[in-house]
Structure 1
Amino acid sequence: MSKPRDDRQKDLLLPALDQIIDMGHPLVRLAALIDWKFLDERFSSVCQGGSGQPGLPTRLVAGLFILKHMHSLSDEVLCARWIENPYYQYFCGELSFCHRLPFDRSSMTRWRQRLGEEQLVALIQESLSVAHKTGAIGPKDLERVVVDTTVQPKAVAHPTDARLMHRAIVKLVGLAKRNRVPLRQSYLR
């Protein structure tokens, strides 16, 4: 795979996104604060030169992951909102409003599998940097970090065909006894 492509340009027949949206919107202001070149440098190690179609622009991919986690969205919902929301498109670096996705939804999964620890650390670093620049967190907030790493398995009994069949037999035998229907077999264990 070669270096990510970013051949996006303004469509002469469509108005530019920065002309139709409110430039004071929180996503527009957040997009201006993020150092996209820093993320582009860190994400470039994921793409090696070679044959094949060039990857998606780094700003698009990083922007989608940021939006996904900011709003706790699934890939399907994120893609649907991206199509209808010009602020999402502006945040991800589009210049004109797009009426369809410039990528296949399965690209999200492939990018997630391809990203390593270094790229995820870069996203966290940039998130903390922006939070510090905006005053959302202060130096005192970064002195001590508490991380809960406990994993507690849940006691969930997943239904199996045998268990469901046994429950049905128990309920039907009970119903037959209440209505005094004689059974040839008791089905008791």
Structure 2
Amino acid sequence: MNRHHQGHPPDSELVVAASSTPQAFAIPGRPGRILVTSAMLGALEPAERRVLPAHERAHLARRHSAPSTAVALAAAADPLLTPVRSTVTFLLERWADEEGAGAVGDRRTTVRAPARAALVAQRAQPGCAPHFSEHAVTRRIAALQTAPRPDLWPIGAAVLALGAPPALGAADATGDLLRLPARTLPKW
């Protein structure tokens, strides 16, 4: 058992870590866990504290780590797929936002929670402003305020389907290049 789980029952889904750094994230596995720091919980209003685990629980329930990892590997193999990675990340966050809103039953609170969490995280790292651009928080907030609940699975699947062939082609080409005999390569 790692040190973050100490003091928590082995079957507890929510793990609260005593930390001055405001963070919250889902840890995939069996069982999956939701790690939230005391700084993040302290920064949120009581109603917003319900949104946070609902959002992270959606990531665990829908196994968002699998497509997230796949698209990260594809983007690492082919940097031209970086926009695909950003799109998939955004769609997975929106999916979890919508499931969190449905679980909590209050879209207004669901709008405030990621906004406050991003602001708190940004304040914790002065001089660095990635939290509003990371995962496109402002776009997510706008979508929660105006858009009806979208069906994101077909869009996500289409983005992954369009991104997979170039990534597989790049991997295949790399394998072919590595198998070429040294005598056929040009001398530089």
- Same fold, TM-score > 0.5, yes or no: no
**Relative contact order: is structure 1 or structure 2 higher (C-alpha 8 Å, sep ≥ 6)?**
1
More helix by share: 2
Higher radius of gyration, 1 or 2: 1
TM-score of the pair, normalised by structure 2: 0.29
- Return the structure number with greater strand share: 2
